[in-house]
Amino acid sequence: MQDLNLFSLAGRTALVTGGAGLYGRQIVRALAQAGAKTVMASRDVAALRSYAESLKKEGFDILAYALDQADAGAVERLRDQLVADLGGVDVLVNNAVARPMKEWSDPLDAWERSMAVNATGLFDMTRTFGEHMAQRGRGSIINVGSIQGMVGLDLTLYEGLGWSVPPDYFFHKGGMVQLTRYAAAKLGPDGVRVNCISPGGFFNDQDPAFVQRYNDRTFLGRLANEHDLRGVIIFLASDASAYITGANIPVDGGYTAK
């Protein structure tokens, strides 16, 4: 096999949860461009279908399915439906995230709703589809974490902006890194690789003061854009990373390297 062919996902099916958001859109596009039949799944099926239709016009093979990641029955039903419709799943990208908490002082109910998706739901997806892949003897699971699961809160980034930074995101993104390592150990003997990427801040027309502060803290001097996750996703989904598992890869312009 030629080296560049190692990056091909032709003949494979990839599932992306939360595929219509800032990260999800570029992840879905990357997988489709690499040749995968790509499935998006979330509660907002209308948004998924709208994005899928735009990509289909470019010749990509995209499907949209409903999924409430907080519902254990829904996760199993999605697995069974994808097995019936497509024969199975080769790549899972755990990208979905719920953000019910807004600040430290929010009621505990907001924390619990966050964990239902971002902790329990994440584990349910990983175990359900990981065991499916293990039965087939192959597969790649990619968890989309965050640098906020790797470092502490830097309040100076937000000083004077009136922004609140909730604690749940730090908690579940840090836990995601450890779940990645656990699942890699559990599923590795059956040919399933599990890795995590930890993106840095994404440019989304934030306050110029925040943008400048953040840029000053990175080696590359900028926030991430709509292209920056594509390469690492294709790499981890494909045979190009066949001997990589249990890894957490920062995609942050050098933010966590300081």
In three-state secondary structure terms, 89 is coil
- Buried b or exposed e, range 7-25, using 16+ CB within 10 angstroms: bbbeebbbbbbbbbbebbb
- In this prediction, residues 221-239 reach a mean pLDDT of 97
pLDDT at 1: 60
Q: Hey, where are the domains in the chain?
A: 3-257
Torsion of CA 49, 56, 132, 185, to 10 degrees: -100
Above 80 in pLDDT, residue 258? yes
pLDDT in tens, 22-80: 899 999 999 999 999 999 999 999 999 999 999 989 999 899 999 999 998 999 999 99
Tens of pLDDT along 99-127? 999 999 999 999 999 999 999 999 999 99
- At 162-217, the pLDDT tens digits run 999 999 999 999 999 999 999 999 999 999 999 999 999 999 999 999 999 999 99
Q: pTM for the complete prediction?
A: 0.96
Q: Quickly count: other Cβ atoms within 10 Å of residue 61's Cβ.
A: 14
Q: What is the CATH number of domain 3-257?
A: 3.40.50.720
Beta bridge partners of 66: 42
* Mean pLDDT, residues 133-161 taken together: 97
The pLDDT-based confidence of 20 (bands split at 50, 70, 90) is confident
Percent of the chain whose predicted confidence (pLDDT) is above 90 = 91
Enter the tokens of residue 114.
Answer: 């966050």
Active site residues per annotation: 169
Find, among 179, 151, 200, 172, the residue nearest to 246 by Cα: 179
